[in-house]
Structure 1
Amino acid sequence: MSTSPANPRFPPGPPLGPVIVTGGCGFVGSHLVDALLVLSPTLSIHVLDINTTRNRVDHSTFPNVIYHRVDVSDRAAILSLFQSIKPATVFHAASPDALGQSLAIFERVILQGARNMISASLAVGTVKAFIYTSTSSVVHDNVSDLVDADETWPVLDWPRQKRHYTLMKAKAETEILALNRNNETGMLTTSIRPSSIFGERDFTQLGKIVESIRQGKGKWQMGDGKNLYSFTYVANTVDGHVLAAQKLLGAHGKPPLADDIKVEGEAFNITNDEDWLFWDYQRAVAALIGLPVKKEDVMVIPAWLALFIASLAEWITWAVTLGKGRLVMTWDAIRFVTIHRTLKCEKAKKRLGYKPRVGMQEGLERATRWFIENESA
């Protein structure tokens, strides 16, 4: 079997193409396309997205990247594309915004979308490797401290998992991993669980932080500021995806490896392996956009007080709007920024050969520089 040429970013490995990347015009998906082109500039890549007007590569430079406007919840359309493309590798990264969507949308896009991708992969019979973009939240109730969580932690179901986005992600991941080798085509599957992704092309998370800082809220801190977080720079995130794909392609058609080294049927945490204090992250962004916050200017609101105020505000809003109103700073949101949330990525380092190439500070510098240059574009 021929292998892809070696480069500084990825080891040599079996050819991945043709490749499908769902959500390939989105934040993570577009970076995944970039990484695949680093691996092989001539790789046949088909991007499936509901909006194909953003984050496209230059067609004159990469005519091998083809864009298809399609909704992953449209089963017939997905199957038709698979039958035409006949992919060997599928990266399923498409996902709606985790905030502000209804359960119906999460179920349709995340769960039904994943089922459509699985169904098409099995129907076409050419898919050897299926890599799912999950979330580290599948093991977290989002209100308790999460300290050094690894992949042995159980995936939470309702009622312990109350976030509909995460609940649907967990269900999709479980179904995808259960299909590994349990199909007529021998397709191998794996799941990547990034933690708090940041980087270029992110207007959502970074945009909210920048907006808050510009409104003068960068000085405020809820809680004692000692809560650690595991973040992941987006280029490191997609490195984990590509490395996993290489491992699956290398294992396809062969007997399973030992349980302590195999990649197929497994989930992998991906982080920057460099935990930061949550509020240091916010203040690093403030400094990088030219609005630094001095230590003596930080205004601390005790966590208990912030949570009490949020609960009171939620109750008043519910009463006044008859349950129809929604707040941005809810009890859950306040709690989320005052807890510890750290994860271990030793499994990815050992089995995938993963190593974060870009550190936290450099990643934030790249992300904020891109944001400032593009926010008015």
Structure 2
Amino acid sequence: MNPRTKPAALGTTLVVGGCGFVGYHLVQQLLLDEECDDVYVLDRNVDRNLHDKALYVRGDVTDSETLRALVAKIQPRTVFHAASPIASLPARKYAEFVETNVEGTRALLAIATDSSAVKAFIYTSTIDVYANPPHTHVKESHPLWPHSNTSNEYNRTKSIADCLVRSANGPRLRTVSLRLGHAYGERQSQGLSEVLDMCSGNRMLIQIGRGDNLVEVVSAGNAATAHILAAKALLDPDRAVGDVDGEAFNISDGAAVPFWHHVRVIWTVARGEDAIRDVTVLPAWIMMAAVLVVEWLLWITTLDTVKPPTVLRRTSLEYCIYSHTYSIEKARERLRFRPFVDHDAVLAHATRWMLDYQKSEDQLKKE
């Protein structure tokens, strides 16, 4: 434990899902924070995204027995819950959404509430919990997806978890839900691998729609900073301006970017400036028609037991042609959140990192 003259504000921390993309960056910042003692990570895959000074435990958020024993042993003051399946899971694995996002969150909240040590609980939510896009400058009061809505299992179960976390707030355990924009940065896979697949080899580069629709993004570094600010505000309300516990906060760079600009930054790194000058722009109605046809065919032929591929899902269509923007004024005011913005440089670095990683993985397969 780090020597100091007074107790650390964050104390011992537990990051559930700390080997994931956002979790990796959160653990990195916690290890550098002088107000943090030991950093424990619980993840079902502790063979990736590791830091030398963090302490790793293999386990799953759905395993209540392991969780309870770990919390009793390490006595964390702060718990970060960043575990979730990726949004693009195939339909055959949809049960994981309920198991992790709903049942796992419920179990972790119960264990944290029962522990005399745990004082703060920070949940990694998402802007995808907001119902009925497109969205323009949406605030935290906007309706979430109803829990009965089955159109998108990721969005529905994240909405349920978001509500569970905020409802669990009380005198014994202070909670907060952080609704992240679409995260990007080094070690990103989801959202980056798919775009790289679209431009691999000599594939035609295709843009859907005019390309002026905006998307709310957050660098992994900014996301990690917001988590730590929220934790410190829960533990010491004097650090906040107004209420934080039991609240939700939109978290992003505070600078929405055109969706297709984001994509083109990735394409430029992967294929070069010359290659992306020849991008084919298709009218939005073509993808709208394709999505509807595929949805109906699968509904008729499989009784909705098989879902369309990611690129032909309604969610993909909405991000390709509609804007999704969200206000972070609440986080700026109450958490004193001041995001650092260098979108193109951070995304280009993340793309180069992923290309190098993919190359090394391919080389290992050949050996």
Provide the TM-score with structure 2 as the length reference.
0.89
Residue from 323, 326, 329 that aligns with 1:346 = 329
1:70 is displaced (CA, Å) by 0.8
The residue that corresponds to 1:199 in the other structure is 185
The residue that corresponds to 2:252 in the other structure is 271
1:17 is displaced (CA, Å) by 1.6
Aligned AA for 1:245?
A
1:320 is displaced (CA, Å) by 5.5
Q: How many residues align?
A: 354
Q: Deviations over 1:19-49 (max 9, x none)?
A: 0000011111111100101213972011000
C-alpha distance in structure 2 between counterparts of 1:4 and 1:304, whole Å: 62
The residue that corresponds to 1:50 in the other structure is 44
The residue that corresponds to 1:178 in the other structure is 167
Shift of the 163–317 alpha-carbon distance from structure 1 to 2, 3 Å rule, reads closer
1:305 is displaced (CA, Å) by 1.9
CA contact (8 A) 1:128 1:188 kept: yes
SS state at 1:18 partner: strand
Q: Deviations over 1:24-80 (max 9, x none)?
A: 11111111100101213972011000111111112xxx2xx2111111111111111
C-alpha distance in structure 2 between counterparts of 1:363 and 1:147, whole Å: 25
Shift of the 324–159 alpha-carbon distance from structure 1 to 2, 3 Å rule, reads closer
The residue that corresponds to 2:135 in the other structure is 146
The residue that corresponds to 1:10 in the other structure is none
Shift of the 218–282 alpha-carbon distance from structure 1 to 2, 3 Å rule, reads farther
Alignment of 1:37-76 (within 5 A): 37-40=31-34, 43-58=37-52, 62=53, 65-76=54-65
SS state at 1:342 partner: strand
Aligned AA for 1:232?
V
Q: Deviations over 1:108-142 (max 9, x none)?
A: 1111111111111122211111100011111133x
1:323 is displaced (CA, Å) by 5.2
SS state at 1:174 partner: helix
The residue that corresponds to 2:15 in the other structure is 21
Moved more, 150-159 or 228-237: 150-159
CA contact (8 A) 1:49 1:71 kept: yes
C-alpha distance in structure 2 between counterparts of 1:327 and 1:282, whole Å: 22
Alignment of 1:248-267 (within 5 A): 248-251=234-237, 261-267=242-248
Shift of the 359–241 alpha-carbon distance from structure 1 to 2, 3 Å rule, reads same
CA RMSD across the alignment: 2.6
Alignment of 1:145-164 (within 5 A): 145-158=134-147, 162-164=151-153
C-alpha distance in structure 1 between counterparts of 2:64 and 2:266, whole Å: 41
Shift of the 217–336 alpha-carbon distance from structure 1 to 2, 3 Å rule, reads farther
C-alpha distance in structure 2 between counterparts of 1:218 and 1:346, whole Å: 40
Which 5+ residue runs of structure 2 have no aligned equivalent?
A: 362-367
C-alpha distance in structure 1 between counterparts of 2:203 and 2:154, whole Å: 28
The residue that corresponds to 1:134 in the other structure is 125
C-alpha distance in structure 1 between counterparts of 2:219 and 2:45, whole Å: 24
SS state at 1:337 partner: helix
Is residue 2:261 matched to residue 1:280?
yes
SS state at 1:232 partner: strand
Which 5+ residue runs of structure 1 have no aligned equivalent?
A: 6-12
Identity of aligned residues (%): 32
The residue that corresponds to 2:206 in the other structure is 220
Residue from 282, 285, 289 that aligns with 1:308 = 289
Is residue 2:273 matched to residue 1:292?
yes
SS state at 1:134 partner: strand
C-alpha distance in structure 2 between counterparts of 1:161 and 1:151, whole Å: 22
Provide the TM-score with structure 1 as the length reference.
0.86
